[in-house]
Amino acid sequence: MDDPFSRFVSAIGRGPGRSRDLSQEEARDAFGMVLRGEADPVQVGAFLMLLRYRGENAGTIAGLVEAARANANLPLAGIGADLDWPSYGAGRTRAAPWFLLAALALAKRGVAICMHGTNEFGGGLSVPEALALLHIPVAASGEDAARHLAERRFAYLPLAAISPRLDDLLGMRRLFGLRSPVNTLVRLLDPAGAAASMDGVFHPPYIETHLGAAELLSRPSLLVIKGGGGEVERSPAKAVTAYRWQTGAGRSEFLFPPLLGRSELETAELAAVWRGDAVAPVAEATVIATIGLAWFALGRAATPEQADSAARDIWAGRHC
């Protein structure tokens, strides 16, 4: 008798003209088996790399997300987040996570933000390291995250605290030398079941996959950009197109204008910029641009220009 998982590997791994994509239901069933430890480790590696080789599609990714959410018991009950903010970038040239300051400024304005992720494969200062500099704790569990949201309207939940198994699967990048579809599905986890979400992707073709998966998953609202290092971070020196899916409204595109004439490298420290002790126009423009993106994703501005105008006020008033 064939191994029950082998049919999934066989479907996506047959030769030219015979292999096919998994349906959403098949992907959900297969990845559920992976997460429950019902597939051999060799099968898991083959499965993930064959999915990568075929190319990610919305239906398969939606099925993977459904399995991940079911096996991690998501969404977290009562966590009460307004905005889902994944942080899984792996950029090698990143200096500091300026997008974190955008999230914290929005939290000061009363927006409840659940940030989740891992920066294990990235370069530069990680989100947990940056939070330590700002004396902000990292959540160790969903209960921790709920408490942090109640106390300061911001929670950072590491992937390992959401699902150690998913964290292990993401870590298989060390063995493959390549990303796998796990890198996409974790961005779409939305552990708090927020009303609005943002995603950053490194390669533009993934934008369609994210939007299509959000549609199949009936997500309320998702805004996607090509962000620095794959993070939800908007460059202030160029026009940035944001792509949105909304239940009931469908898809739309919006062009956010540049906020700076040009961008130059700076060496300002993240904590000093947050306190206002450093002169760092590029870093501050990056933060303001990202605040504007999030304000728009929340539906609190009708146009990108209105969102950017509000963002300047939000950043200026972060210590009020």
SS (H, E, C) the chain: CCCCCHHHHHHHHCCCCCCCCCCHHHHHHHHHHHHCCCCCHHHHHHHHHHHHHHCCCHHHHHHHHHHHHHHCCCCCCCCCCCEEEEECCCCCCCCCCHHHHHHHHHHHCCCCEEEEECCCCCCCCCHHHHHHHCCCCCCCCHHHHHHHHHHHCEEEEEHHHHCHHHHHHHCCHHHHCCCCCHHHHHHCCCCCCCCEEEEEECCCHHHHHHHHHHHHCCCCEEEEEECHHHCCCCCCCCCEEEEEEECCCEEEEEEECCCCCCCCCCCCCHHHHHHCCCCCHHHHHHHHHHHHHHHHHCCCCCCHHHHHHHHHHHHHCCCC
Per-residue model confidence as pLDDT tens digits over 215-274 = 999 999 999 999 888 899 999 999 999 999 999 999 999 999 999 977 676 778 999 999
Identify whether 74 is part of a domain: no
Q: Which tens digits make up the pLDDT trace of 27-40? A: 999 999 999 999 99
pLDDT band at 93 (very low <50, low <70, confident <90, very high): low
Residue 10 lies in a domain: yes
pLDDT surpassing 60 at residue 183: yes
What pLDDT does residue 211 have? 98
pLDDT tens, position by position, 48-57: 999 999 999 9
Q: Are residues 49 and 114 in the same domain?
A: no
Q: Are the C-beta atoms of 32 and 44 separated by less than 8 Å?
A: no
Is residue 242 domain-shared with residue 176, that is, in the same domain? yes
What is the average pLDDT score of the chain?
A: 93
Q: Is residue 72 part of a domain?
A: no
Residue 220: predicted pLDDT: 96
Considering the domain boundaries, does residue 73 fall inside one? no
Cα dihedral 41→47→50→56 (10° resolution): -130
With a cut of 70, say whether residue 106 has pLDDT above it: yes
- Same domain? For 98 and 40 the reply is no
In a domain, residue 241? The reply is: yes
Number of domains the chain contains? 2
Same domain for 113 and 31: no
List pLDDT tens digits, range 196-215: 999 999 889 999 999 999 99
Stronger pLDDT, 7 or 122, i.e. the higher one: 7
Average pLDDT (173-198) is 95
Same domain assignment for residues 87 and 51: no
Write down which residue in 16, 35, 55 finishes a domain: 55
159 and 34 fall within a common domain: no
If asked whether residues 177 and 236 sit together in one domain, one would say yes
Q: What is the pLDDT of residue 79?
A: 86
On the 0-12 / 13-18 / 19+ scale of CB atoms within 10 A, 8 is buried
Residue 48 sits in a domain whose CATH number is 1.20.970.10
Res 49: pLDDT: 95
pLDDT, residue 147, reads: 95
| pLDDT-wise least confident of 15-24, 139-148, 216-225 | 15-24
Domain for residue 50, yes or no? Answer: yes
Pair 17, 122 in one domain: no
User: Do residue 49 and residue 189 come from a single domain?
Assistant: no
Assess whether 93 and 48 both reside in one domain: no
The domain containing residue 298 runs over which residues? Answer: 83-316
What tokens were used for 37?
């430890």
Q: Are residues 40 and 119 in the same domain?
A: no
Q: With 50 as the cut, is the pLDDT of residue 1 above it? A: no
Q: Give residues with Cβ within 8 angstroms of 185, minimum separation 6.
A: 61, 64, 65, 68
CATH of residue 150's domain is 3.40.1030.10
On whether residue 256 sits in a domain, the answer given is yes
- For residues 44 and 109, membership in a common domain is answered with no
| 281 inside domain | yes
